[in-house]
Structure 1
């Protein structure tokens, strides 16, 4: 009788422990789910540990796309208008490539099964980490091109590596506050997560309802054909400065409403111009767009014209919108003329040429940038 009682007690304890584990897992799952409905609807809080991740396909595509992306972005970084390949492009290219490898590679260690979402995400993450341009490269290039200073590959490599590791280290320190909490929201990443789900997850659709993948394909094709209009056929629609049409020879109107001025009232039908600064308006939250727009309006369209036309800091000697360096008389400042042969400041030449001057727009935006 006592043995049966002990067995019953042990079974009951096991059931209670199992119930507690299941209940705690449910509570944990609810806690890890984002309180923001948009995030909870897109980002899943479930994981399937049986899905293979570090496969041969992943390593092959990760190395390939990382090398190509880093080379392309760094090479075109030095253009006046840099061309940049985003992670979104890698997401689109790696998906059919992964499907192709899953079909042609022999089954086994090289091909453990269908190309899955975890492999796809890791390929995009790896390429994204390697594809960004390092700011320290600008230091080495400027020293070599403009000042003829070359400290060698080793010193330049260590400089770039140090700055990059500093950024990664700071990200690692702050991830427990900015990444791990479920309440943290990163709007640009939601788009990528939604695209991963679109490509890999099946949907229960009703008759006549479009899938997300079909909608994405239609939108991509439509955007491809439309981009030919502002890009090649009618570039004038990239910046329609209709304010200047009132009096094309008026300098003030050109400065206020022209494409090379403050652009008041200008309209652009080129998507690249629309997303060039803030990013896609479909991604950035409305409150953030309003905040940035109000700041831009106050600085660029209120403070700068007032400062310029009241001749603050002798502003009318310089262009209203320019980031260059100028002399007191408005001519471009030749920095090399005030340096010695060892690229050290020559005080006598500096006093002869006078102090550096910048435009009012550059001074205000640069100063407010530190605020």
Structure 2
């Protein structure tokens, strides 16, 4: 784990310690770099991370801009409430969809511009309109609201308790559960920012559209005005268009010629259907709904190398899923083709309450009466590929990125430890944030170099965040009768600390965070063997381990936004904490509201095109299987023994690629990310799959055709258009969620017609 010594590696100083000559050289260098590159690289194809971050987004900074305004707090708190509510709505959707950062940026810019324009600058009102709404205010608002706009995993634990255990936890303990689990990862991730944040190689591709949009909104000149016009045109067009696939014409979610030709064929539905949750693989379906094309990650932002690896995994996924089902492996044909629930052998849904005693522990006598549960065959493959990808992440990064990770352990020497002890001051709030300017300043990331003039949010702040969260979490697991002992909690946190380094590096480099999600299954497996017979303990173990990794990635992504936007570190830290706490409370309120109004749909296998319980279903079934029946289902000689054994296979999976590249570099084996390939073998295990062909079409058009054939257009407009598409879509989705899709109560579906098959699957495939 990085500590105070890590701050001294890329050190900086307080703004006041710069003399005029030094300060001027900083600004001139940034301005020259950003202004001359545009002229010099109009026709150059961008090849590496440093070229991307200096050519696609500007490096220059204006230190006179103030983010600490009442207006920024006012907009930030309002959007945090909005984003936290929207994120919880998305949690109960049939496809995993996230609140777009661009969406929050657009709304905050519109509100800020309106306040700047219409609020008088006199009297008390001048605090709400101190002048033009600036870039750093906008970044402050985005970080606060994006921290809130994530469905906290703790609400998943609480939702499972309500849906499957008939437990409604105490509101106070629930809120503290949310707070501690959301902030624990911030403490660990913040301490590692020297490795996972500052270097250019840690690109975080997913945030580039946002910063490209910032340049269009806040830079003067004719070029900026042209970019802004393109942005508004695309935003308006997709905003109006989304009303059709989302409500009026839902057949556009998945247009399949095969489904229209054979609407009563079960095999066609499994392979070619995909417009509804858990319907099928969506092979050759065409999706016109940007919400699902860009639901998990915007295809216009992910580097081509990562896209190629996901495509290979996608092809393997379809082959493996079909082979498992039609060869009846693990008795797959007894169960739905795609499902996340546990089943009896005859295919009916397994009643977990019949095997639990009054302490919510698995009773072996009751298990013998009910029999061991089964998974759908495709879900077993999902577990297998999860372990493959997870293990491959460690080996892949140690082979290909060992130099990038080595800095994580440089602090482990006696001289550094003595220095910490000598300089330790428990009065962390008095830390000046002053850092020394390093001798090799020219080698630093140019964006980070511009940040050196601002006081840092020191490691002690993140350490205090970690310690407080740890203590509260330790208390909460006993207050809530989680059945997780203190030593299990400690192991969960240690596991998170190691995982953050590896999964954080892969996410920062490729922009694909699914390997982080895959870590959940490993954690469940470890918890299952540590706390056998305790499904509730399994859920809490996962909460404090896996969720800490996810939260660390969220923090580092938002701090990268701050670095690119030149938002002072202390402002970024403040915004992150406030947004997280407010969002957690709203997640809790919305979770209870949706369960109250949509309970039966959330408990059903397929759900609807609007609501689905697929996420709490999978979380619960994993907790029962791993937490209660790990030895009976997954140990050597048992039905699903290859699930844990696949972890060993994943450890060696990257080796052939590395060996071939070492002796035959012309074959370019370095072009493949084995963790991504392995993880994507189960990409289609859940949700709406009709969007995949459209996703790859957009991805290759953007990251290959445009980038190599039209590099000037790519640099100026690719990420800007991606931002507009995400923003316009999510504004309309939010409106429709409350207006017609039942987020606040009763749904009002569009009247039945050929393009809106309200009685079955929208693509008119057979409903299984």
Q: So what's the TM-score if we normalise by structure 1?
A: 0.84
Matched pairs, number:
348
Q: Whole-Å Cα distance in 1 between the matches of residues 67 and 183 of structure 2?
A: 25
**Are 1:222 and 2:222 an aligned pair?**
no
Partner of 2:190: 172
**Structure 2: segments with no counterpart, 5+ residues:** 1-18, 35-47, 389-768
Cα distance 1:248–1:37, how it changes in 2: closer, same or farther (>3 A)? same
Distance of 1:199 and 1:27 partners within structure 2? 22
Separation in 1, partners of 2:85, 2:272 = 38
Q: CA deviation at 1:94?
A: 1.6
What residue is the counterpart of 2:288 in the other structure?
A: 269
Coordinate RMSD, CA, aligned: 2.9
- Residues 328-357 of structure 1 show CA distances to partners (whole Å, capped at 9, x for unaligned) of 112111112222344332322211221110
Pairwise mapping of residues 273-292 of structure 1 onto structure 2 (< 5 A)?
273-277=292-296, 279-292=297-310
In the alignment, the residues of structure 1 paired with residue 177 and residue 171 of structure 2 have an alpha-carbon distance, to the nearest angstrom, of 10
- Shift in Å at residue 176 of structure 1? 1.2
Is the CA contact (8 Å cut-off) linking 1:52 and 1:112 kept in structure 2? no
Equivalent residues in 2 for 1:337-356, closer than 5 Å: 337-356=354-373
| Matching residue of 1:366 | 383
CA positional deviation for 1:318: 1.4
**1:303 corresponds to which residue?**
320
Whether contact under 8 Å (2:97, 2:295) holds in the other structure is no
Inter-partner Cα distance in structure 2 for 1:330 and 1:262: 21
Match in the other structure for 2:132 = 114
Matched, 1:44 2:58: yes
The answer to whether the 8 A contact 1:35-1:182 is kept is yes
In 2 relative to 1, CA 306–231 (structure 1 residues): closer, same or farther, beyond 3 Å?
A: same
CA distance in 2, matches of 1:19, 1:95: 33
Change over 3 Å in CA distance of 1:253–1:81 after alignment to 2: closer
Which ranges of 4 or more aligned residues in structure 1 deviate by more than 4 Å?
A: 18-30, 32-35, 79-84, 107-110
Report the TM-score, using the length of structure 2 for normalisation: 0.42
8 Å CA contact retained: 1:230, 1:270: yes
Instruction: Supply the distance in 2 between the matched residues of 1:273 and 1:113 (Cα, whole angstroms).
Output: 39
User: SS at the partner of 1:356?
Assistant: coil
Kindly indicate whether the alpha-carbon contact (under 8 Å) linking 2:356 and 2:362 is maintained by their aligned counterparts in 1.
yes
Deviates more, 1:330-339 or 1:226-235: 226-235
Summarize deviations over 1:152-187 as a string: whole Å, max 9, x none: 233322322222112212221222112111332111
Which of 221, 228, 234 is equivalent to 2:249? 234
1:89 equivalent in structure 2: 103
Which residue is equivalent to 1:133? 151
Report the Cα offset of residue 210 of structure 1.
Answer: 6.7
Aligned to 2:520: none
- When Rg is computed on C-alpha atoms for both structures, the one with the higher figure is 1
Deviation of 1:237 after TM superposition, in Å, equals 2.4
In the other structure, the counterpart of 1:12 is: none
